[in-house]
Structure 1
């Protein structure tokens, strides 16, 4: 069969076009089929190269994140926050192995713009592992290459500033001090400062505020800080302060005047030892007996109770701590009536889920120590000048918490109470109404009406109507009635 030249040329052109199209689409095919190594070998500069590299890196780091979640920041003004949102439980050897794999990936494909995202994540992993020099060199290399619109230059600059603060600077420091845990200075700890009148707080906090790293003697220095009053926060690995508490200094804040160097040392001391009830202990009956060990230098003690928050699926979501009593205790024991504690209405609260569902503070409805609930307690030790020396409270309330978590037996729970615990508030209201003029049912109905079971605000008038039906009001009931009447009068004047 004979073909004309024109026909043959057309066929060849078609084949070339199909071949070119296939070649052009090959990187996309390789990427979407998961052949990332082949893609990077044959098409290192294609638009799919960077996502392919990132996918390889993600395969390596999926169990680790950036490694920041093992740090905790403790503030001189009280409280603490984690440095990340991860729940990674890898040990340092496992983290080091992941870093080694990323280093091999970086060496294999070179420190190019395509590899910048890998280099940046690797730098952060080195940062949180305390490999300061390597983290700094990687961040500087990324900065020299430029074109990093995919990361926050502000965040990168903050990490670099922290790393560069390790090097000795000229001039007089604005603020300096030593961080100690027990009697030992703490090298390589993060120190962060925030203006005392700044009510905002970012978490993780490190890149949002001036920060530095302690030297081998536990000393930190800040330069060029504007005059003012500052809170100081210390960032350490959680295991470093296991069993320790940041003691209060004479001044909770650091005062920088812009002339002389302000001094602010930070000391973590052993926690107060809580004795009973112990972890996972079940409290039966009306008596709650708290016992603790004497603390050196303490003139008196104060007690706190913590209510554990869980969402509708039972997942731990946080905690609320409040004083158990205003009393100052000079001994190492205190006894309470659970019934009397549950009569005090002080823990209201409302949260909203992703789908708009409302969850109320169960302790604010059924009582601070409601039957079936789980709670933590802590004791604070103070000296004769009202300075808090230490506390039994740890800085984290999770599986590794030191704070004793106990449970109150679910004896005496009504149908309405169980529905409240299950966050079925409409059904709970109907159940309580069926109980008639039961004082407990009326109290909970009043609290539900006061808070509101939906997104809208509560109805104090409706709450008052329930409270006024209580036949044997407690002192706390009378105070609540007075509060409701005041709120109703204020609403009328608006």
Structure 2
């Protein structure tokens, strides 16, 4: 009996071992394959080997398509806008984070066979559209337009069998864009005719693609030199949009109307000038060592949209070829900025030294070339790597740049979600600069606001208010190099992502002082309590510079929150005291603005002369002072100062006032038009007028009536005298509407 028990236990043990062995041979691999499959479906796979093994093991059918959707299509780019991590331009830059979750990035070559498989055999659904677009992007990057066209045609044919699904028409529009890029306008126009016919009865869908079709047709007609026909096309579509969709005129969805009207306006300019075609803008992108940037995104941004992020529907976008070349054809008359889309590895250690407010002015059927050369980032010496500074000054030092005549130095304050900075010193002739800590304490960063929850008022950020006077905050700095003509050569600020490009990091601390109780209140966002505490500190010590500075800045915050211009009256004694104890241009400019506002002309002359004597005047302060001269009837003096300011400021934000003065003095609209073309306004992020267009309207009214210039000068005199009552009460008679519009725009200049 005992023996039987032992044998039984032995047999059971052998059976258990066998079962475990079978489980190990069959169940565990099955489990692993299941886990791998789920990881791919969830987009959490950790290595390419697992991904490709799972894809290859999947049998044809629904399960395989789900894997390709999750692993390939959903993680792909449907437009070149999604492809890049960094966007840089003259006035705009942004970056996206690295790939999250540790999921490996797939190359285009690795994705291609799966995209081709889905386009040829996958389900006819929205993913087919996405897969086709991603495949077209891949072929575009490989300079294989024939294969891109073939993929689009194949997908269109597969989807055309489903008449209720109009997404295949989006692919047809993509194919027309392909023909436009390839310089095949006849094929593109024929395809658009077919697309328009199919959408004739699809009212809601037509609303979606109406502007896209019109814009593309204009580009194609422009390539054929048929500008009047392009204008007729836009007018027809604009009329149709307004008649068929009246809600677009009531504010529900004004974007389409606005875009078509903008298109119409630019075409009208081309027709007036007798243009026989549209422009071509081209160039190359290379590094200074001669290496071309292949596969970089290039975006030609229109004046009205350049201040926002790049969108997939923006009309002018392309990718550089193997030689770094790019071309835009069918470019309408307008002012444009070039912006680049780059991967981190393309910009790592390099910078595009493009000046602010650099624009391309397209006026006719011209060929414009604009080459871009990336330069190595400058190397910094000190202060770097979290250096703590306790002395009376900071020595900023950097390595020299070949060909540099001078440098500009900027300082930055670290915020919770980024940095805020501004220029500390300009026109430095050496490769180092000693800045007194007291000057850094005086340096203003303005008023910025924290992100607020939906429905809540944004609150001022206290960190920039305290600025360099915060011993617990980390600061950074950067430098730019310029040649003798003022052309930007390179800069230190940029992307440093590898050890070989990292260099020394420009971070430092200023710890000459300790935070006061008032500072703590400020950093806690208790602004009223902080103001009282700083005021109490001044009662104890009337020469407390820090308390004075903070009080003035808190008054600035309050003025900003109340949307008041200038410094509040109760802050003036503190500003004047600061100027006495620690004269800085920022505080003197406050007094200059206040004097001009109160028409205290002698004081304004004094403060402006003080700024000029210490070399701290600039285009903005000179322009503000020039407007004060206008108020006094000193037109010639104001004109000279405004002209100098325009030559110093590439944004030309005060050009409207200068044009008004010149019109009054010379009585010549043609001369004013020439000046408007010479100094086009470039105020970034603001919808400012095209002054040449306003002057052209004045010129047309002048040609149609007698005594027009006398009427125009009389109204300009109201503006010079700041006679708001007269300007508000005036109702223009027939034939003087352009004067009213010009006057209204002049009053907005700030």
Q: For residues 32-431 of structure 1, what are the structure 2 equivalents within 5 Å? A: 68=82, 70-75=84-89, 77-82=90-95, 85-89=96-100, 93-96=104-107, 103=114, 107=118, 111-114=122-125, 116-117=126-127, 120=130, 123-124=133-134, 127=137, 145=159, 167=182, 174-182=280-288, 183-195=290-302, 197-198=303-304, 200-205=306-311, 207-248=313-354, 252-310=358-416, 316=417, 318-326=418-426, 328-354=427-453, 356=456, 358-362=458-462, 364-368=464-468, 370-394=470-494, 404-410=505-511, 411-431=513-533
The separation in 1 between residues aligned to 2:173 and 2:527, in whole angstroms, is: 47
Report if the CA contact (8 A) 2:279-2:330 is conserved.
Answer: yes
Deviation of the 1:357 alpha carbon: 5.4
Q: Deviations over 1:139-172 (max 9, x none)?
A: 666666376689995xx78976776676465879
The separation in 2 between residues aligned to 1:281 and 1:126, in whole angstroms, is: 51
1:446 counterpart SS class: helix
Deviation of the 1:270 alpha carbon: 1.3
TM-score of the aligned structures, taking structure 1 as reference length: 0.69
Deviation of the 1:193 alpha carbon: 0.8
Deviation of the 1:383 alpha carbon: 0.9
* Structure 1, 424-433 or 384-393: larger mean CA deviation: 424-433
* Structure 1, 233-242 or 142-151: larger mean CA deviation: 142-151
Report if the CA contact (8 A) 2:404-2:489 is conserved.
Answer: yes
The separation in 1 between residues aligned to 2:114 and 2:352, in whole angstroms, is: 38
Deviation of the 1:117 alpha carbon: 3.9
Report if the CA contact (8 A) 1:304-1:322 is conserved.
Answer: yes
Structure 1: segments with no counterpart, 5+ residues = 1-33, 38-49, 311-315
* Structure 1, 397-406 or 330-339: larger mean CA deviation: 397-406
Of 440, 443, 447, the residue aligned with 2:553 is: 447
Cα 1:119–1:108, aligned 2, differ >3 Å: closer, same or farther? Answer: closer
Equivalent in the alignment of 2:54: none
Cα 1:381–1:471, aligned 2, differ >3 Å: closer, same or farther? Answer: closer
* Structure 1, 252-261 or 392-401: larger mean CA deviation: 392-401
Structure 2: segments with no counterpart, 5+ residues = 1-37, 42-61, 186-222, 224-277, 600-722, 725-750
1:308 counterpart SS class: strand
Report if the CA contact (8 A) 2:578-2:587 is conserved.
Answer: no
Equivalent in the alignment of 2:643: none
Q: Deviations over 1:64-117 (max 9, x none)?
A: 898937432222x244223xx554257895335998599499859953344x14
2:105 counterpart SS class: helix
- Give the aligned CA root-mean-square deviation in angstroms: 4.7
Report if the CA contact (8 A) 1:460-1:487 is conserved.
Answer: no
1:81 counterpart SS class: strand
Cα 1:431–1:57, aligned 2, differ >3 Å: closer, same or farther? Answer: farther
Q: Deviations over 1:30-89 (max 9, x none)?
A: xxxx9xx9xxxxxxxxxxxx9xx99995698898898937432222x244223xx55425
* Structure 1, 346-355 or 263-272: larger mean CA deviation: 346-355
The separation in 1 between residues aligned to 2:463 and 2:66, in whole angstroms, is: 46
Give the structure with the larger helix fraction. 2
The separation in 2 between residues aligned to 1:256 and 1:106, in whole angstroms, is: 43
Deviation of the 1:208 alpha carbon: 2.0
Report if the CA contact (8 A) 1:446-1:462 is conserved.
Answer: no
The separation in 2 between residues aligned to 1:373 and 1:474, in whole angstroms, is: 24
Number of residue pairs aligned between Structure 1 and Structure 2: 428
Deviation of the 1:192 alpha carbon: 1.2
Cα 1:423–1:159, aligned 2, differ >3 Å: closer, same or farther? Answer: farther
Deviation of the 1:443 alpha carbon: 2.6
* Rg comparison, structure with higher value: 2
1:305 counterpart SS class: strand
Report if the CA contact (8 A) 2:284-2:371 is conserved.
Answer: yes
Equivalent in the alignment of 1:19: none
Report if the CA contact (8 A) 1:342-1:370 is conserved.
Answer: no
Deviation of the 1:446 alpha carbon: 2.8
